[in-house]
Amino acid sequence: MTVSAFLTDATLCIGCKACEVACKEWNEVPADGMTWTGLSYDNTQSLGASTWRHVMFLEQPLAAGPQLAETTDPFRWVFLSDVCKHCGKAGCLEACPTGAIMRTDVGSVLVQNDVCNGCGYCIVTCPFGVIDRRPEDGRAFKCTFCYDRQKAGLIPACAKACPTQSIQFGELEELQERARRRVRELRERGFHDARLYDPQETSVQGAHAFFVILGERENYNLTPAPEAPTAYLKSAWTSAVVCAGIAFGIICLAFAV
Amino acid sequence: MSSSPSKPAAKASEARLDEIRKAAAESMPASVGTGSRNAPQIRGRDGYYGLPVLKAPVWTWQVPLYFFFGGIAGMSACLALVGQLFGTEAALVRSALWVALIGAAICPIFLIADLGRPGRFLAMLRVAKIQSPMSVGVWILVAFSGCTFVALLAKELILEGRGSELILGLNWAGECTSALTGLILAAYTGVLIGATANPVWSHNRRALPAHFLGAALGGAAAVLELLGFLIPATQLIGIAAAAIETLLGAGFELSRLPVNAPLHRGKSALAFRIAGVMAGPGALVLRLISGTAPARRAAAICFLAGTLLSRYAWIWAGRASAMDAGALFQSQRKSS
What is the DSSP code string of A70-92? ----SSEEEEEEEE---BSS-HH
Q: What is the pLDDT of residue B11?
A: 67
Give the model's confidence band at B37: pLDDT under 50 very low, under 70 low, under 90 confident, else very high.
Answer: low
Give the model's confidence band at B111: pLDDT under 50 very low, under 70 low, under 90 confident, else very high.
Answer: very high
Q: Are residues B178 and B95 both part of a single domain?
A: yes
User: How many separate domains does chain B show?
Assistant: 2
CA distances, A85 to each of A107, A211, A216, B60 (Å): 11, 9, 18, 28
Residue ranges making up the domain that contains B267 = 200-325
Residue ranges making up the domain that contains A54 = 4-226
Mutate to test the interface with B, among A71, A223, A253 (most CBs of B within 10 A): A223
Give the model's confidence band at B215: pLDDT under 50 very low, under 70 low, under 90 confident, else very high.
Answer: very high
| Residue A17: strand, helix, or coil | coil
Q: What is the mean pLDDT of residues A166-177?
A: 98
Alpha-carbon distance A211 to nearest alpha carbon in chain B (angstroms): 16
Q: Which of residues 203-242 of A touch B (CB under 8 A)?
A: 216, 218-221, 223-227, 229-230, 232-233, 235-241
Compute the mean pLDDT over every residue in chain A, rounded to the nearest whole number: 95
Q: Which of residues 7-66 of A touch B (CB under 8 A)?
A: 14-18, 21-22, 25-26, 28-31, 37-42, 45-46, 48, 56, 58-61, 64
Cα–Cα distance for residue pair A10/A8, rounded to 1 Å: 7
Q: What is the pLDDT of residue B233?
A: 97
Q: Are residues A136 and A248 both part of a single domain?
A: no
HSE-CB of B11 using CA atoms within 13 angstroms: 9
**Higher-confidence residue: A127 or A66?**
A127
The domain boundary residue, chosen from B144, B160, B195: B195
Give the model's confidence band at B10: pLDDT under 50 very low, under 70 low, under 90 confident, else very high.
Answer: low
Q: Is the pLDDT of residue A84 over 90?
A: yes
Q: Are residues A216 and A239 both part of a single domain?
A: no
CB–CB of A6/A198 below 8 Å? no
**Interchain CB distance below 8 Å, A247 and B54:** no
**Interchain CB distance below 8 Å, B41 and A230:** no
Q: Are residues B287 and B265 both part of a single domain?
A: yes
- Contact list in B for residue A140 (CB cut-off 8 A) is 116
The domain boundary residue, chosen from B195, B226, B248: B195
Q: Are residues B183 and B289 both part of a single domain?
A: no
Q: Nearest to residue A109, comparing CAs of A228, A217, A234, A236?
A: A228
Q: Are residues A234 and A126 both part of a single domain?
A: no
The domain boundary residue, chosen from B195, B218, B239: B195
Q: Is the pLDDT of residue B3 over 60?
A: no
Domain annotation covers residue B234:
yes
Nearest-5° angle of CA A17, CA A22, CA A25?
130
Mutate to test the interface with B, among A237, A252, A253 (most CBs of B within 10 A): A237
Q: Is the pLDDT of residue B112 over 50?
A: yes
| Residue A202: strand, helix, or coil | coil
- Domain harbouring A167, CATH code: 3.30.70.20
Q: What is the pLDDT of residue B29?
A: 58
- Closest residue in B to A129 (Cα) is B54
Give the model's confidence band at B7: pLDDT under 50 very low, under 70 low, under 90 confident, else very high.
Answer: very low
HSE-CB of B23 using CA atoms within 13 angstroms: 12
- Closest residue in A to B34 (Cα) is A40
Alpha-carbon distance B107 to nearest alpha carbon in chain A (angstroms): 15
pTM exceeds 0.90, yes or no: yes
Q: Does A103 touch chain B (CB under 8 A)?
A: no
Q: What is the pLDDT of residue B4?
A: 43
Q: Are residues A147 and A252 both part of a single domain?
A: no
**Are β-strands A209-214 and A4-9 bridged in parallel, bridged antiparallel, or unpaired?**
parallel
- Closest residue in B to A255 (Cα) is B233
Q: Are residues A42 and A79 both part of a single domain?
A: yes
Q: Are residues B313 and B211 both part of a single domain?
A: yes
Q: Is the pLDDT of residue B33 over 80?
A: no
Q: Is the pLDDT of residue A257 over 90?
A: no
Q: What is the pLDDT of residue B90?
A: 95
Share of chain A above pLDDT 90, in %: 88
- Contact list in B for residue A90 (CB cut-off 8 A) is none
**Interchain CB distance below 8 Å, A116 and B79:** no
Q: What is the pLDDT of residues A24-38, one digit of tens each?
A: 999 999 998 888 888
Cα–Cα distance for residue pair A204/B332, rounded to 1 Å: 14
Nearest-5° angle of CA B215, CA B316, CA B300?
25
Q: Is the pLDDT of residue A190 over 60?
A: yes
Q: Are residues A196 and A253 both part of a single domain?
A: no
User: How many separate domains does chain A show?
Assistant: 2
Domain annotation covers residue B35:
no
Q: What is the mean pLDDT of residues B229-256?
A: 97
Domain annotation covers residue B2:
no
Question: Would the ipTM clear 0.90, i.e. be above it?
Answer: yes
Q: What is the pLDDT of residues A192-202, one digit of tens each?
A: 999 999 999 99
Q: Are residues B141 and B113 both part of a single domain?
A: yes
Q: Are residues A40 and A158 both part of a single domain?
A: yes
Q: Nearest to residue A88, comparing CAs of A210, A212, A233, A179?
A: A210
Of A102-116, A238-252, B38-52, B191-205, the range with the lowest mean pLDDT is: B38-52
Of B39, B132, B332, the CB nearest to A97: B132
Kindly give the residue spans of alpha helices, DSSP state H, lying in B255-292: 266-277, 283-289
